[in-house]
Each structure stands twice: as C-alpha cells, then as structure tokens.
Amino acid sequence: MKILLAEDDALLRTRLAADLTARGYAVDVADNGVDAEHLGTEWPYDAVVLDLGLPQRPGLDVLRNWRARGNAVPVLILTARDAWHEKVEGFDAGTDDYLAKPFHVEELLARLRALIRRAHTRHGGELTAEGLTLDEEEQSVLCDGQKVALSGIEFRLLRYLMLHPGQILSKSHLTEHIYANDADPDSNVIEVYVNRLRTKIGTARITTRRGQGYVFGTPD
C-alpha cells in the first residue's frame, strides 16, 4: 500500500512518515498543497492523509480539485480540534474521514486501515484470503496454522495481493503500490519477492500470467 502524506509541519510529517513506514506502508510526502495535488493526480495512491492548512494551496482546494477530476482516492483529512466547520466542508468536498489534531498515531493507523478496506469493499477485522490471515501488527501471516514472518516488502506485496484476489496485477502496477516514489527498484525485483512469498505461503496461491502479471487466488 502506498500513502501520500501531505502535512506542512515538519516534525509531525517526519514522525508520521516514520510511523507509517514502520507499519508497512510506502510513503510519499508533500509539504504544500501544490505538490500534494500534483502527486495525488499523477500517482495511484491507496490513501491520502491530507492536512487542510497547507501553504500555497489549501487542503480543501486540493481535495475539491481531485474529486472534480474523478479521483476517488480515499482521503483522511487532518483538522484543528474545534474546527467543526472544516469537518463539514471536508465531507461536502468529498473526504472519506477526518481526524482532529492532536491525535494518537494508533487512531490514524486504524482509520487508514478502515478506509483502505472500505475502498476494496471489505469489512473490518483481520484481512483473510485464500486460507491466509494477515497480522498487520506483527507483519506476519498465518498460513496453514503456522505463523510465517515476512520482510517489509514481502508484507506490503502480500497485503496488496490479498486485497485484490483474482485480479491480474502487472509488475509495474505492483511496483507503483509497494514502493515510494524515491525508490528505484529494478523491474525484476517484484519477481524476486513473488518467488520468496511462494516459498512461504505455497506456490499455488500466486500464479503467473505470462506477459501480463500475477494473480493471487482464483482469477475472476
């Protein structure tokens, strides 16, 4: 999962980026509304954390512009604690959720997980698919009754695959969703990590479509 974090407070931005990365997300950051809008338009993020008080272009304008272009990326806006009017304006502009400052990072993480699952028409609780149960806290997977440890990239990749069962996912598509923009992975890196996952969860759960990509589980 790749997240865009748009926040102008340098200390908060750095802390949140570190927390999100530690929880298995690829994170791109923006410190102003112009850059945030550009990134959110050019890249297929799985969710956006958007501060409304951004310089150069307010977060609310960024959100409105995305929605006007048909960009339905899940958005969690950050507002001042007592700014109820910002919450109303945010929902009217098309936000999916809001969180008032100051906040506990665990609540932000929980709300992000809920947004991403709703975007994939999944209900809350553990992520399960094809006989696997993903532990997002420990970044491991329960496979055939055994807990299997995952590396950071393996966890991101498996989570994305489990959220898209039966879909053909190309190498380039997977790369866009599990690496931050400042990473420069070789095109064959995805193949390496898919093979590592196969050794851990069984080869039958991930099939290769030659010239197209990979399918987790039974194709649609």
pTM: predicted TM-score of the whole model, two decimal places: 0.79
Element at 100 (helix H, strand E): strand 97-101
* Token pair 């950050």 in the structure block, residue: 78
26 SS3 class:
strand
Neighbours of 150 (CB within 10 A): 22
pLDDT per residue as tens digits for the range 24-68: 999 999 999 999 999 999 999 999 999 999 999 999 999 999 999
Q: Which one of 3.40.50.740, 2.60.40.10, 1.10.10.10, 3.30.420.40 gives the CATH number of domain 127-216? A: 1.10.10.10
Token pair belonging to 99: 């969180």
Same fold, 2-119 and 127-216: no
Token pair belonging to 138: 């420990």
2-119: what fold?
Rossmann fold (3.40.50)
Closest residue by Cα to residue 23 from 1, 49, 47, 45: 1
Element at 37 (helix H, strand E): helix 33-42
pLDDT per residue as tens digits for the range 206-219: 999 999 999 998 76
